[in-house]
Amino acid sequence: MNTNLKISNVTKIYPGCIANDNVSLEFNSGKIYALLGENGAGKSTLVKILSGVIIPDEGSIYLNKNNLKLNSPLDAKKNDIGMVFQHFNLFETLSVFENLIIDSDEQRESLREKIEEIMRKYNFSIDLDIPVLNLSAGQKQKVEIIRCLIRNPKVLIMDEPTSVLTEQETSELFLSLKKFSEEGILIIYITHKLKEVMQLCDEVAVMRRGKLVSVSQIKNENLESLATKMVGQNLKTIKKKKASTSSDQLINITNLNFISEDPFETNLSDINFSVNRGECLGIAGISGNGQSELFQVLSGEILSDKNSIEFNKNYIGDLNPQERREYMVAFSPEDRLEQAAVPQMKIFENVALNNFKSSNFFNNGLINEKKIREHSKKIISDFNVNTDNIDLKSQFLSGGNLQKLIMGRELITSPDLLICFNPTWGLDVGAINYIHETLVNINEQNKSIILISTDTDELLKLSDKISVIHKGKLSKIMNSDEVTSEKLGILMGGGEID
């Protein structure tokens, strides 16, 4: 049976911003639709409206000509709309089976048969009786998908599903999605990754600033045309010059270990690497394989053996982040809102978090507000942060602007080494471009970067050398021109290459 989903003149207004401005779209089963847009373009709002999380101010949703009243996620489920969110909603300590039956009132036995049948049909192999915390991200996502499939959905919405997957897992997911589509499930695929749209989808709807800007057939589009539609302007292409073959070693990590007391953290074992001046070392890996721990050990949030980290001929393994900064190391953590900045504090206060002695932000224990303000103004203009009010609380900055502020704060003292972790996570293309440009510039000034990232494209674009972290262990370090994303994928999944 054919499924037709129609969004008609949907508007959702938040104070100060129109999230969806009179959006009308029509979807038919048998095709895979992409909903493409930068962060803040209104995709998430639209998807939340479809899944009943948000109620629109105006407009209606029709499924096979029936006007749907979606006042809660439950209404969406009842109307056969399934949704897999970017962040998994699973109970880590419960088994896969328990997670699947938690919101169902069917009999356990019959449900188990049904689940096993679904898994056979789509070639999923997951042990139903192990706790979810033992699953990889790709498997967790399959659990979420099964949870939708149990209800025989007519519509399946996937929200940025590949952000945590490896290349292999991504192609597996795409195969499954194509199969679902053949079976008559209407697939709506939300993303800001252009390549995936080209690979997977049949039709693409592009949103920008709350408005629908275009609907077109994929066969009439290419990467450039989509990027231009999405951003609304042409993007500069970033070219990284080949690194000057410097052999001047800046940082050297030897026999670094970390054993965590927390079972949800990953132990690091026997980490060894070094980075030369002007070089960018990329560390790839699926999130949760020890990246966060590695970042913390490198930043000094977790202290280690004094001799395990040698920086510029000083041993700094036992120094805290502030002390390490004095040696001209800078850090940009993954979590912009929880760690790198305090959202409730003003911009200039957040600037003071990176406190070098020479910056004189604090004299004899007193706050030197004038100095901090001057410094903040300089960061804002030098790093293109889109505001001129340094008294603004940083929670009101967009992700991209906040990341620019953080990068600026870390880089304005021109440190010798920048350690950054997922610097472009969740940012829109324009901001990503800017950050990438900044990182390339750092290398050109003969400064070094350790780039820990889950985005393979980013790593291949920016790194001179690449290593992969898997279960707290680093692979051998490879020159980035010998590396392909397929090779990285194998290593990220724990495999071996020649």
Could you say whether residue 362 binds another protein (CB under 8 A)?
Answer: yes
Contacts of 240 (CB under 8 A, 6+ apart): 440, 443, 461, 462
Are 61 and 70 in contact by the 8 Å Cβ rule? The answer is yes
Could you say whether residue 399 binds another protein (CB under 8 A)?
Answer: no
Distance separating alpha carbons of residues 19 and 54, to the nearest angstrom:
11
Site string (416-445) toward another protein, x via CB under 8 A: ------------------------------
Helix/strand/coil (H, E, C) string of 202-241?
Answer: CEEEEEECCEEEEEEEHHHCCHHHHHHHHHCCCCCCCCCC
Phi, psi of 140 (to 5 degrees): -60, -40
Could you say whether residue 338 binds another protein (CB under 8 A)?
Answer: yes
Per DSSP, 95 falls in state B
Residue range at the interface with another protein (CB under 8 A); choices 126-134, 144-152, 298-306, 431-439: 298-306
The gap from C-alpha 125 to its chain's centroid, in whole angstroms, comes to 26
Are 272 and 256 in contact by the 8 Å Cβ rule? The answer is yes
Residue range at the interface with another protein (CB under 8 A); choices 10-18, 230-238, 248-256, 262-270: 10-18
Number of neighbours of residue 25 by Cβ within 10 angstroms: 18
Q: Which of 205, 206, 230, 340 binds another protein (CB under 8 A)?
A: 340
Residue with tokens 């959202």: 343
Give whichever of 72 and 441 is closer to another protein, judged by the CB atom.
72
- Per residue in 456-492, is it b (16+ CB within 10 Å) or e — as a string? bebbbbbbbbbbbbbebbbbebbebeebeeebbbbbb
Could you say whether residue 401 binds another protein (CB under 8 A)?
Answer: no
Could you say whether residue 102 binds another protein (CB under 8 A)?
Answer: no
Could you say whether residue 53 binds another protein (CB under 8 A)?
Answer: no
Could you say whether residue 161 binds another protein (CB under 8 A)?
Answer: no
Distance in Å, CB of 56 to another protein, minimum = 14
Residue range at the interface with another protein (CB under 8 A); choices 38-46, 196-204, 227-235, 345-353: 345-353
Give whichever of 99 and 354 is closer to another protein, judged by the CB atom.
354
Could you say whether residue 55 binds another protein (CB under 8 A)?
Answer: no
Measured CA to CA in angstroms, residue 261 lies from 94, 267, 470, 474 at distances of 21, 9, 19, 21
Beta bridge partners of 105: none
Q: Which of 42, 278, 285, 300 binds another protein (CB under 8 A)?
A: 300
Give whichever of 55 and 223 is closer to another protein, judged by the CB atom.
55
Max CA separation in the chain (angstroms)? 75
Could you say whether residue 353 binds another protein (CB under 8 A)?
Answer: yes
Site string (305-334) toward another protein, x via CB under 8 A: ---------------xxxxxx-----x-x-
Measured CA to CA in angstroms, residue 469 lies from 133, 276, 490 at distances of 19, 20, 12
Give whichever of 224 and 338 is closer to another protein, judged by the CB atom.
338
Distance in Å, CB of 415 to another protein, minimum = 14
Q: Which of 102, 215, 367, 497 binds another protein (CB under 8 A)?
A: 367
Give contact residues for another protein (rule: CB under 8 A).
14-16, 299-301, 320-325, 331, 333, 335, 338-342, 344-345, 349, 352-355, 362, 365-367, 393, 395-396
